Amino acid sequence: MDYASVFSSPVGQLTIMADDDSVYAITFAKKDIIGLTENDLTKRAWKQLHDYFEGRLTVFDFPIKQKGTAFQQTVWQKLLGVAYGKTVSYAKFSAHQPLAIRAIAAANGKNNIAIVVPCHRVIGSNGKLVGYAGGLWRKQWLLQHEREVAQQGQTELKF
């Protein structure tokens, strides 16, 4: 069965979607959730997102699972290793597979669990903010928020 919660955040409305076992989407995109109710997982995700935006939470611990290819799953798992308040360039993120930089960027763009799977922490190799499905202004806001809370990190690489 599917469940949903809606969360009004400083960067717009987020829709949290889950099944009985895991959260499978957190998105800025409008979703048809008519007839769906909340469950413990969507409520838990809502609470943790609230704490994230309040600056009280830096690591999410609810179960997540999104559909994707084995390659996409690998990229999303690696995204979870990008520390709160930090950024990494696409070149550095794909250093283990330099010929796959475009495929890695495409997989990053297919991430359906915004903020929790922190694709917003990956920036252009030139240090600029690039490509965020939620819009670059949200990416900038999220990075700035994390930098302020962590009192570290940067939104652009300094060369």
Q: Active-site residues: which are they?
A: 119
Give Cβ neighbours of residue 81 (< 8 Å, ≥ 6 apart): none
The two beta strands, 122-123 and 88-89, are parallel
* Sign, Cα dihedral of 59, 61, 67, 68: positive
8 A C-beta contact, residue 82 and residue 39: no
